Amino acid sequence: MTNRPILVAALVLAGFAVCGVGVVAITHDLTAERIAANEHQALLRTLEAIVPEGGTDNDIAADHIEVHNYELLGATHTRVYRGRRDGQPAALVLDPLVPNGYAGPIKLLVSVLADGSLGGVRVVSHHETPGLGDRIEEQKSNWVQSFTGRSLGDPPIELWRVKRDGGVFDQFTGATITPRAIVQAVKNTLLFVQQQGDGLYQTAAEAVSAKAGGS
């Protein structure tokens, strides 16, 4: 008899625990979908900012593949978002990694239009020195906008360097390593897209069909 109050108290506590876990689980389920939707919209806005307005009519954030080329893209896995217009290739947006930034890796978004020119470049994340290397941010300077419209032929590939190294791109006073690394990474991204061609736009079914037709 003396153990009954203890048992009742334990059952009550267990009930509260079960209810608490249930509430947390339900809240997570309700908010996870909203968070995912918000993240999707934020990504879509960023992607659309570096693709010409009206240039695509698909959900570019949802149409993507993973590619693997550490040498040119700086990471073992790189995502490629595919923009289409009336079902035809319009733009690719890749998220290459710049492994040799001054203060660590730099994550980019690089838009390459169907004609091989750059729709734009944005810095997604970095650890560069405030007041020096952080001028790669669009909010800090317009330096990153200097890539828009460029291609492997404009300038010629041998001039894809900062001015200090004999190229055409500006460096920052007191900070050359960061812009040098980004110029190289953007050039490498263009080279990767040039090498892969329209194959980057293929759906899985199209890729299988092409492989079968070539065998």
Domain residue ranges in the chain: 64-203
Q: pLDDT tens digits, the chain, 215 residues: what are they?
A: 456 777 666 677 776 667 666 666 666 555 766 766 665 677 777 788 899 888 899 999 999 999 999 999 999 999 999 999 999 999 999 999 999 988 999 999 999 999 999 999 999 998 887 877 788 888 889 999 999 999 999 999 999 999 999 999 999 888 899 999 999 999 999 999 999 999 999 875 454 344 444 54
pLDDT at residue number 25 = 60
CA distances from 183 to 64, 127, 136, 159, 193 (A): 24, 17, 11, 10, 16
Residue 181, Cβ neighbours under 10 Å: how many? 22
Instruction: Sort 64 into a burial class: Cβ within 10 Å, 0-12 / 13-18 / 19+.
Output: middle
pLDDT at residue number 174 = 82
Residues 191, 194, 198, 200, Cα dihedral to 10°: -10
Pairwise CA distance, residues 215 & 211, whole Å: 6
Instruction: End-to-end CA distance of the chain: give it in Å, rounded.
Output: 82
Which residue is associated with the tokens 């153990």?
Answer: 3
Distance of CA 210 to the CA centre of its chain: 28
pLDDT at residue number 140 = 86
Q: Please tell me what DSSP assigns to residue 110.
A: E
Q: Which of 97, 66, 98, 96 is nearest to 82 (CA)?
A: 66
pLDDT at residue number 209 = 41
Cβ contact 85:119 at 8 Å: no
